[in-house]
Structure 1
Amino acid sequence: MRVQHFGGAHSLTTTVQVANQDVFVDIGLYSMWHGGTEYGAGIAHVSQIVSASGVENFSTEWNSLASPSALFRKNVTSVTFKVEVFEAQAMARWMIYTWG
């Protein structure tokens, strides 16, 4: 996933459907830069997961510990990953590990 915006804040989400699997999900930034400004910021996290536990929405506030980058759940049907930037460009990779 790649998101870029040098005029303020911007975000990109990707939702992946999963067929009732036990999963470990992970997302991480692998590139982040800001061009010509004094500061920039980027974050990658899981914003929602739907599983046997129900629908879980995670905080989208910057630097929130409630915005996980990795977690495990049983009987998952969908995962939404989110990358956010402020005055920057960021690229992230996400993975879903499944058990049969």
Structure 2
Amino acid sequence: MAVVGMRSNRMRVRHFGGAHSITTTVQVANQDVFADIGLYSIFDGGTEFGSAIAHISQIISDSGVENFPTDWSSLASPSTLFRTNVTSVTFKVEVFEAQAMARWMIYRWG
């Protein structure tokens, strides 16, 4: 198998008054995919408690609908996954008293 295509984009979320998040759902036409998200910039504005996390919050594939923990108490949500026959991937970036930027990528295999 080889990579037959790729999609990517970026996400930005900013909130210095508590917690905030943003999600992006990408539709995929029943492809085998390797999905990945990574933070590339975090700015906490000088606050002592600023933080950010980027992860995959949901993927729908031939394994079914997989929802991953999205609260701060569980950092077990994946940032990278491979699944077969994927129809959608939801990426999420969360901040607390911060600004963060992340990039996501979906590699299609065939």
Equivalence for 2:99 = 89
1:62 corresponds to which residue?
Answer: 72
Match of 2:5 in 1: none
Aligned AA (1:31): S
Structure 1 runs, 4 residues or longer, greater than 3 Å off: none
Alignment of 1:11-22 (within 5 A): 11-22=21-32
Q: Given the superposition, is the C-alpha separation of residues 32 and 63 from structure 1 closer, same or farther in structure 2, using an over 3 Å criterion?
A: farther
Structure 2 distance, partners of 1:21, 1:65, is 27
Number of the residue aligned with 1:4: 14
Structure 1 Cα separation of the partners of residues 38 and 72 of structure 2: 15
Q: Percent of pairs identical after alignment?
A: 82
Pairwise CA distance, 1:51: 0.1
State the TM-score, normalizing by the size of structure 1.
Answer: 0.96
The total of aligned residue pairs comes to: 100
How far, CA to CA, are the matches of 2:26 and 2:19 in structure 1?
A: 24
Cα distance in structure 2, aligned partners of 1:18 and 1:70: 16
Q: Secondary structure at the match of 2:93?
A: strand
Structure 1 range deviating more: 79-88 or 60-69: 60-69
Instruction: Mark the runs of 5 or more structure 1 residues left unpaired by the alignment.
Output: none
Describe the superposition over 1:13-35 as per-residue Cα deviations: whole angstroms up to 9, x where unpaired: 00000000000000000000111
Question: Offset of 1:62 from its aligned partner?
Answer: 2.0
> Deviations along 1:24-67, whole A, 9 cap, x unmatched?
00000000011132220000000000000100000012263430
| Ranges in structure 2 where 5+ consecutive residues have no aligned partner | 1-10
What amino acid does structure 1 have at the position aligned with 2:54? A
The equivalent position to 1:38 in structure 2, one of 43, 48, 65, is 48
Cα separation, partners in 2 of 1:65 and 1:88, compared to 1, 3 Å: closer
